[in-house]
Amino acid sequence: MIPKNHPRYKSLMVRESLAAAARSGLVSLEGLAAHGRGEAFDYLIGERTTASAAEAERLASRLILSAVRPVFSVNGNCAALAAEEIAVFQKRTGVAVEVNLFHRTEERMQQVADHLAAHGVEVLMGECERLVPLAHDRGLCLPEGIGSADLILVALEDGDRCEALRKMGRVVIAIDLNPLSRTARLATLPIIDELTRALPAITEACGTEMAGDLHTLAASIDNQKFLADALREMRERLA
Ligand code: PTJ
């Protein structure tokens, strides 16, 4: 039992719920390590949304509003941390939600989809094909989802998929607390913020921001600036 007045109450509760999700198989054991890495970077950035991340979140909402086929790619960690926020985000934006797992089994795919559906998310389901050229299972996706999306929102993953999607001409928004990760460095737009802070901020901005031409807008984004801003914030806190 974690006392409510514990100074790290929220963080400990999130850990506890992720540990339970790992025991049930919703989150992979590796996902717990990924969460710990995120916690460390969140500490460094001050566990708050920086002005630069808020700007990225507004930009993200413009990109999403400008996309014709936006898809949110959700893994076990995302589903366990933010199913409710994903449901609200989807209702506001109409974004398609597809489950994409690194530690993929058909059983886990269904488990993540069921968890999202139980929180009101409409999950795209069907026959996956290897449409993203990757040797591992993140390459498997739905032809009517990530396979034909013009914009893909990814969160809490570091690896080669973002690079592959960019090479396919897709716009990629990455929510990732680690500004040094491959995914953050290679995304069209990196959002260096915690998932459950970033998603509501993007949802809210969708109510005020305007759509434009997706690729013109994407080409105008300086992703290095957002990475540099986050690294500067972290350095300042360390100094
Ligand atoms: O559910 P699966 O099978 O698809 O497994 C997911 C794994 C664990 C494989 C996936 O999440 C992963 O590859 O994790 P990585 O490589 O550790 O990358 C996760 C990134 O997300 C790291 O850069 C973390 O800093 C970051 N991160 C962790 N928690 C959060 C976060 N970023 C934003 N908000 C968080 N809550």
- Nearest C-alpha to atom 1 of ligand 1 is from which residue? 76
DSSP character at residue 108: H
Assigned token pair, 226:
């957002």
Atom 23 (ligand 1): residue with closest C-alpha? 178
C-beta contacts of 203-208 below 8 A and 24+ residues apart: 203/61, 203/85, 203/88, 203/89, 203/92, 203/93, 205/57, 205/58, 205/60, 205/61, 205/62, 206/61, 206/64, 206/65, 206/92, 206/93, 207/92
Tell me: domain 51-238, CATH 2.60.120.200, correct?
no
Q: Any idea where the domains of the chain sit in the sequence? A: 51-238
Question: Is any atom of ligand 1 closer than 6 Å to the C-beta of 205?
Answer: no
Closest C-alpha to ligand 1, atom 27: 38
Q: Give the per-residue pLDDT at 7.
A: 81
pLDDT, one tens digit for every residue, the chain (239 residues): 888 888 888 888 999 999 999 999 999 999 999 999 999 999 999 999 999 999 999 999 999 999 999 999 999 999 999 999 999 999 999 999 999 999 999 999 999 999 999 999 999 999 999 999 999 999 999 999 999 999 999 999 988 999 999 999 999 999 999 999 999 999 999 999 999 999 999 999 999 999 999 999 999 999 999 999 999 999 999 98
Among 11, 57, 156, residue to substitute to test ligand 1 (most atoms within 8 Å of Cβ): 156
Residue 50: the pLDDT is 98
Q: Which are the contacts of 126, defined by CB distance < 8 A and separation ≥ 6?
A: 142, 143, 144, 145
pTM of the model: 0.97
Label the pairing between strands 189-191 and 171-175: parallel
Ligand 1 pocket residue status of 41, Cβ below 6 Å: yes
Whether 163 and 172 have beta carbons less than 8 Å apart is answered as no
pLDDT of residue 44: 97
pLDDT of residue 196: 98
- Identify the pLDDT of residue 4: 85
Residue 141's alpha-carbon distances to 137, 170, 187, 222, in angstroms, are 9, 14, 19, 28
CA of 1 to the centre of ligand 1 (A): 27
